[in-house]
Amino acid sequence: MNRQIQIFDTTLRDGEQSPGYSMNKSEKLRLARQLERLGADVIEAGFPIASDGDFDTVKKIAETVTESSVAGLCRTRPIDIETAAKAVEKARKPRIHTFIATSDIHMKYKLCKTREEVVDSAVKAVELARSYCDDVEFSAEDASRSDPQFLYEIFEAAISAGATVINVPDTVGYALPWEFGELIKGIKENVSNIDDAVLSVHCHNDLGLAVANSLFAVQNGAEQVECTINGIGERAGNASLEEIVMAIETRKNNMNYSTGIRTKEIYPASQLLAQITGKGVQPNKAIVGDNAFAHEAGIHQHGVLKNPLCYEIMTPESVGLTCNKIVIGKHSGRFALGKKLEEMGYQLNKDELNTAYKSVTRLADKKKVVDDHDLISIMAMMRNQPAPEPQKIASGG
Ligand code: KIV
Ligand code: ZN
């Protein structure tokens, strides 16, 4: 049976928390609207107690967004919960997300609390949150390094207190996929009331495993995945929304899941985030990087031009790009060059194509990518026409 996985986007909270990614109120609002267009089930809009600005922003997003749930994060302290409740109260679908650490190291050094005290704080927090809001998520921070028996205990207590979502964070990105999958399976099997709540995961990318861990969790029963656009987030980031969604979409033959994400809005969301923060996406980033649908090697170009499926497992259009990119460089072949020049309006016979190809490879030895302007100059020189800015070729660009 096909299972729909809830997508909880935390770009505006965990993502925004990372160095260099802070956004102001109007920027966050623009991004929240795009996340709604994208079809995120939940938008975590911020941490309302953190500052007056954060509170105002979460409130504004809650008043604006109507399709997605809007969540505000809070610790277990009553003042945190009351502030989060106030910030999301006008949302059509509000959620309060409260968390406390459950690993021995965090309880001992950060919280200075015993296990009993932590369970008590969690229960009281969930009860208070439920007095304001019907949808309450409880997270056990550093769950992947917590004693599983203790997790079963605290989750059972949180659900009994009224939690509607139970979240299992791999806060420090320490888990291995099969290990994290086992943890989720254990929670499913040992928390007696787990079916009364949605089981969620929240993975960080310190070992580059956040997406793999999230997918293993889904395979073992997780129903909600927390993630961010472009994978931004604390330290090495969070699980990337676009990678999780497109893995599920592309490999439906292996995983019988779906999401409510409108995949054509993925690229616009990624670009909007990059534009707002001034932080570009690494070129080889899966799905949304500049090179994700670019082909330079001759053999690849030949294959893609004949049938894109030779080297593309999803279409660029499916994630909101208009087409793939054939890059002319030193690895390109005559076939791709001919096609490219044809698209630019040049009809070349075999000899002309050979001459153009020699000029292109010579130039490509000097500069990494031969762009349209270079090709126009090469064609102009070949045809004894005035070349626009010929110095660009001579200098190698
Ligand atoms: O990484 C983490 O543990 C978190 C929680 C607050 C969910 O971001
Ligand atoms: Zn996190």
Please count the structural domains in the chain. Answer: 2
Residue closest via CA to ligand 1's atom 8 equals 14
Of the pLDDT bands very low, low, confident and very high (cuts 50, 70, 90), residue 316 is very high
Q: Locate the ligand 1 atom nearest the alpha carbon of residue 169 and give its number.
A: 3
Q: Is any ligand 1 atom within 6 A of the Cβ of residue 357? A: no
Question: Residue 301: what pLDDT?
Answer: 86
Q: At what angle do helices 148-160 and 177-190 cross, to 10 degrees?
A: 50
Out of 53-57, 202-206, 307-311, which region has the weakest mean confidence (pLDDT)? Answer: 307-311
Question: Residue 388: what pLDDT?
Answer: 52
- 330 pLDDT above the threshold of 90: no
- 6 pLDDT above the threshold of 90: yes
Question: Residue 304: what pLDDT?
Answer: 86
Question: Residue 392: what pLDDT?
Answer: 39
At 363-392, the pLDDT tens digits run 998 888 898 888 988 998 898 776 554 443
Co-location of 271 and 308 in the same domain: no
Residue 337 belongs to what domain range? 294-396
* Protein residues placing their CB within 5 Å of the ion ligand 2: 14
Torsion angle of C-alpha atoms 217, 219, 221, 224, degrees rounded to 10 = 60
Residue 285 belongs to a domain: no
Q: What region, left, alpha or beta, does residue 208 occupy, with left being phi > 0 and alpha being psi -120 to 50 degrees? A: left
Residue closest via CA to ligand 1's atom 5 equals 141
- Report H helices in the chain: 25-38, 52-64, 78-88, 104-105, 115-132, 148-160, 177-190, 210-219, 241-250, 266-277, 298-306, 334-343, 350-366, 372-382, 391-394
Average pLDDT, the chain: 94
Question: Residue 395: what pLDDT?
Answer: 35
Ligand 1 pocket: which of 165, 171, 205, 227 to mutate (most atoms within 8 A of CB): 171
Torsion angle of C-alpha atoms 190, 69, 321, 236, degrees rounded to 10 = -50
Q: Strand 69-74 to strand 42-46: parallel, antiparallel, or no bridges (unpaired)? A: parallel
Separation between Cα atoms, residue 92 and residue 340, nearest integer Å = 50
At 13-23, the pLDDT tens digits run 999 999 999 99
Question: Are 12 and 44 within 8 A, CB to CB?
Answer: yes
Residue among 204, 181, 224, 243 at smallest CA distance from 71: 224
Co-location of 91 and 133 in the same domain: yes
Q: Locate the ligand 1 atom nearest the alpha carbon of residue 171 and give its number.
A: 1
Co-location of 17 and 147 in the same domain: yes
Residue 350 belongs to a domain: yes
- For the entire predicted model, the pTM comes to 0.90
CATH number of the domain at 182, please: 3.20.20.70
- 302 pLDDT above the threshold of 90: no
Residue 207 belongs to a domain: yes
CA dist list (Å): 71 to 27, 87, 234? 18, 9, 18
- 270 pLDDT above the threshold of 70: yes
Residue 7 belongs to a domain: yes
Co-location of 31 and 153 in the same domain: yes
Domain end (from 277, 305, 336): 277
Of the pLDDT bands very low, low, confident and very high (cuts 50, 70, 90), residue 306 is confident
Q: Is any ligand 1 atom within 6 A of the Cβ of residue 141? A: yes
- 277 pLDDT above the threshold of 70: yes
Residue that has been written with the tokens 């994700």 in this structure: 292
Domain end (from 214, 248, 277): 277
Question: Residue 36: what pLDDT?
Answer: 98
CA count, 13 A, side-chain hemisphere, 140: 32
Domain end (from 216, 251, 277): 277
Q: Residue 74 belongs to what H/E stretch?
A: strand 69-74
Question: Residue 376: what pLDDT?
Answer: 87
- Backbone phi, then psi, for 226, in 5-degree steps? -100, 135
